[in-house]
Amino acid sequence: MDIIDLIKEFTPRTELQQKSKELILAELLQYGERLYSRDTLHAHMSASAIILNPSLDKTLMVYHNIYNSYSWTGGHADEEQDLYTVAYREAREETGVERLYPVSRSLLSVESLPVPEHIKRGKKVAFHYHHNVTFGFICPDNQRLSIKPDENSSVAWLDINKLTELCSEEDMVPIYEDNIRQVIKLMTEKQRNYQLLPERLLPWYEKNARDLPWRKDQDPYHVWLSEIMLQQTRVDTVIDYYNRFLMEFPTIKALADADEERVLKLWEGLGYYSRARNLQKAAKNIMAEFGGNFPKDPAKINKLPGIGIYTTGAIASICFDYPMPAVDGNVLRVISRITEDYRCIDEENTKKEIGRQLAEIYPKGHCGDFTQSLMELGATICLPNGEPKCGSCPAKDICIAYKSKRYSLLPIRKEKRAREVQEITFFILTWGNKIAFRKRREKGVLHDMWELPNVYGKLDREDVKHWLQEQKGAGHIGNMNQGKHIFTHIEWRIRCYKITCEKPFGDYLWADEDKLDTEISLPTAFKKFLLPEETDFQQLSLE
């Protein structure tokens, strides 16, 4: 949204704001881009920030050398038309803080303010006006502060009730106080939205919850299994895996006693195989330490292998009515939009604080339903990557991002690190009706899983001949297919050669199709290349 639209949507609270809004809009219409440069006209655009601490009792200000007073941070547009960026940048540069979060991306205030004649860097600056817009920010007050010495001589947290004593510009104090009141009002609304969530979501969830197999009871084994399977995997994919897994391992004891290869075989295709191994390790712990009974204490649940704070919250609330939220990406997205929270949801402090605030409003006797209602809203209504289904949302009347039409800006995420690209060559070694497999010993992705023989690098047919000779093997090198496989931080770009061998060689397991179907758990990265040759491997983008 450009600055003209932001000013148009701003509702003045004072006579000065009303007059300033009309004047600035008129001059933006008249002068256009010229108003963003400080070297022209009688006025130019600027942006300021009102910064409060999380307790909302202190404001961060700089002692401005021009005015000989503590004042808000801010600066000239200098041809930058995104004035939010100007306010954010200047606030950080003038105070030295690193972490700074907008209360809203809407304007806090609009004022046309006179700037007296002054000397700056040895040059005379004539009287002019700042057509100023203000944004509100929350800033943790435990950060190191530093001044911008060419403009300011001090930076400090000031008691919001003592601005009259500390700010010598008497005409600015009412402006600061009005903006501070507005920040407090907005933050109070965010807090109120937490309080209103249970009454909005519980009735909706009762009527709209999807019929999922793990919701048919509150057996902690069932909830635990579903939550582990659902990590990094879509619900539609998990349902069949969940049902097959429970048919073979209906109890924690059955899982604990199972052969690991069989567990991995039933997990085949879900990926992230460490989840399956940890699931079985935890089952063994439950048998050894708790007599086969799933522990009810969240602290004990959290200590089980593969169970983090999210899964602990899901099990504790759904199965034992414990007021402990399960804060995952879906829930963080829902909360960041409903409260228009611009903190980065990838930061642990943000996750912990949102979890703390949710825990305070968990409805006794309905903790499990509330946890699942948040999950359900994020999975079916408050969607990522595109348009959420706001018209069907039970919380749209309290959703600040919906009212401000800024839901597309949220949640705030860290910039993703580029994946490391690795060239790798697979070999399908066949002898009669058997194919060669081996266990992957390299640490990292797919460690200790079955794999096709492979080497790093982009091998051509001549390279493959040399590799085969080094392995003391012989055979006919057939077709080559290409594809890729995407892990979280790595992308494999794959060439795969099919080699018909004259006899078995190497330290491989030579297995037929029946053994592959029943005993060998082969990750998708390799299994896809055993499909019929008409598969278009060049287009594969595998998860």
Tens of pLDDT, residue by residue over 65-91, are: 877 889 999 999 999 999 999 999 999
Within its chain, how far is the Cα of 109 from the centroid?
30
Among the listed residues 198, 201, 209, the one whose alpha carbon sits nearest the alpha carbon of residue 364: 198
Q: What are phi and psi of 64, to 5 degrees?
A: -85, 120
Q: How many residues does the chain have?
A: 543
Residue 262 pLDDT > 80: yes
Residue 121 pLDDT > 70: no
Residue range 161-180: mean pLDDT, rounded: 93
Looking at per-residue pLDDT, the higher value among 197 and 119 belongs to: 197
Supply the pLDDT for residue 120.
Answer: 64
pLDDT-above-90 percentage for the chain: 84
Supply the pLDDT for residue 541.
Answer: 33
Compute how many other C-beta atoms are within 10 angstroms of the C-beta atom of residue 247: 9
pTM confidence score: 0.87
Q: Which helix (H) or strand (E) holds 427?
A: strand 420-431
Output DSSP code: residue 530.
G
User: Distance (Å, rounded) from C-alpha 256 to C-alpha 288?
Assistant: 10
* 125's tokens: 């600056």
What is the bridge-based pairing of β-strands 420-431 and 490-501? parallel
Where in the sequence numbering do the catalytic residues fall? 227
User: Distance (Å, rounded) from C-alpha 288 to C-alpha 307?
Assistant: 17
Looking at per-residue pLDDT, the higher value among 67 and 429 belongs to: 429
**Rounded to the nearest 10 degrees, what angle do helices 220-230 and 235-248 cross at?**
140
Supply the pLDDT for residue 411.
Answer: 95
Residues 364, 368, 374, 380: is their CA dihedral positive or negative? negative
Place of tokens 């040399």: 466
Q: What is the mean pLDDT of the chain?
A: 92
CA distances from 151 to 93, 233, 422 (A): 11, 53, 50
Place of tokens 């018909």: 500
Single-letter residue type at 477: I
Supply the pLDDT for residue 304.
Answer: 97
List pLDDT tens digits, range 385-409.
878 999 999 999 999 999 999 999 9
Is the Cβ–Cβ distance between 327 and 313 less than 8 Å? Answer: yes
Residue 444 pLDDT > 90: no
What is the bridge-based pairing of β-strands 118-120 and 123-125? antiparallel
User: Distance (Å, rounded) from C-alpha 153 to C-alpha 167?
Assistant: 14
* 339's tokens: 């409260």
Residue 122 pLDDT > 70: no
Residue 534 pLDDT > 70: no
Output DSSP code: residue 107.
-
Q: What are phi and psi of 369, to 5 degrees?
A: -65, -35
Residue range 133-162: mean pLDDT, rounded: 93
Output DSSP code: residue 346.
T
Supply the pLDDT for residue 321.
Answer: 97
Supply the pLDDT for residue 427.
Answer: 97
Tell me the pLDDT band of 538, cut-offs 50, 70 and 90.
very low
Residue 173 pLDDT > 50: yes
Supply the pLDDT for residue 127.
Answer: 78
User: Distance (Å, rounded) from C-alpha 7 to C-alpha 260?
Assistant: 63
Lowest mean pLDDT segment, chosen from 126-130, 173-177, 201-205, 281-285: 126-130
Residue 539 pLDDT > 50: no
Residues contacting 196, CB < 8 A, separation 6+: 395, 398
Residue range 433-457: mean pLDDT, rounded: 94
User: Distance (Å, rounded) from C-alpha 66 to C-alpha 289?
Assistant: 70
